[in-house]
Amino acid sequence: MKKIGFLSFGHWSASPYSQVRSASDALIQSIELAEAVEDLGADGAYFRVHHFAQQLASPFPLLAAIGARTKRIEIGTAVIDMRYENPLYMVEDAGAADLIAGGRLQLGISRGSPEQVIDGFRYFGYAPAEGETDADMARQHTEVFLQALSGAGFAQPNPSPMFPNPPGLLRPEPHSPGLRDRIWWGAGSRPTAEWAARQGMNMQSSTLMTEDAGVPFHALQAEQIRLFREAWAAAGHAREPRVSVSRSIFALVDDRDRAFFGRGSQESDQVGYIDPQTKAIFGRSYAAEPDVLVKELAEDTAIQAADTLLLTVPNQLGVEYNAHAIESILKYVAPELGWR
């Protein structure tokens, strides 16, 4: 069995082809798609977080709304950029959203990716200390976030509070037990995967890795997963970790599918630069008749190694089409591969 969910960037655009014309459309349709995939038997609704862009941003209002409208599916992010986050305020938001959802949040966090503006985190009031990088700052925010999620008190209570305090040091409230075990790190390389394992976080790996080892993307990603699990075991954590990978996968089962994706998949990986300093390898996408997809996906070693697959969706095509695309994978592809 493999958990299968969707990952949406939540784009909106006034372009004529878009069925998502505004921020309101993007948010409401995200909730509707989550409800639809729960009805279809999928396992998760995940959302990307970007700032200064016509895409989904601060995620917790959306996650809480989906938590209130669904009963079973996991609800998550992939990923929250920790450079922008106040970690203690985030603990409060995450705790509230997780309690509303009945303990179904799966929060992916990371350093983030290149954004729409230069050093956008500075506009949010955050800057790396002298001699440190924005990646260092993201990890520092993460360490504070994870420690506070443990539920241990650390703040000195006021001797004359407005309301009575419980005994001892205080913590951010509301606290959601178990959420600490449902935090994931978006790892873009093998070393960051090992770091995430040592911190006791699950791992998310996308269709991009910030290194090129001269091997196919899926093989490099499968090695990343292996190194993550080895580092997890070496750290001595008590529970079993989880690993997700994301892919663009479309089964061509009707005329709409062929019109949108009938030119076929991106059949090979691509190597390029996501910024002037960072060389990256981008994994291929898949679009084919179901029987062809089954053969191609059986050879993707990273998908086979992961316990969770996130299907990236073209959200601007609307709720009905994206629900159809996910249902096609669940109905025609997943059973043939033993995922269902």
List C-alpha distances in Å: 80 to 98, 169, 218, 319.
15, 29, 24, 23
For the chain, the average pLDDT equals 94
* pLDDT-above-70 percentage for the chain: 95
Read off the pLDDT band of 207 (50, 70, 90).
confident
Least confident of 19-28, 106-115, 267-276, 293-302: 267-276
Check residue 323 and give its pLDDT. 98
Contacts of 10 (CB under 8 A, 6+ apart): 20, 26, 27, 30, 47, 48, 55, 56, 315
* Inter-residue contact 309 to 2 (CB < 8 Å): yes
- pLDDT tens-digit profile of 282-330? 778 999 999 999 999 999 999 999 999 999 999 999 999 999 999 999 9
- pLDDT tens-digit profile of 248-286? 999 999 999 999 998 865 666 565 665 655 666 677 899
- pLDDT tens-digit profile of 66-102? 999 999 999 999 999 999 999 999 999 999 999 999 9
- pLDDT tens-digit profile of 223-239? 999 999 999 999 999 99
Q: pTM here?
A: 0.94
- pLDDT tens-digit profile of 154-187? 999 999 999 999 999 999 999 999 999 999 999 9
DSSP assignment of 181-222 equals: GGEEEE--SHHHHHHHHHTT-EEEE-SEES---SS-HHHHHH
Read off the pLDDT band of 31 (50, 70, 90).
very high
Bridge pairing between strands 278-282 and 270-275: antiparallel
Average pLDDT in the 206-233 region? 90
What torsion do the CA atoms of 156, 162, 167, 170 make, to the nearest 10 degrees?
Answer: -40
Read off the pLDDT band of 213 (50, 70, 90).
confident
Check residue 215 and give its pLDDT. 87
C-alpha 57/C-alpha 54 separation (Å) is 9
DSSP 8-class letter at 180: G
* Inter-residue contact 173 to 95 (CB < 8 Å): yes
Check residue 184 and give its pLDDT. 98
Check residue 210 and give its pLDDT. 78
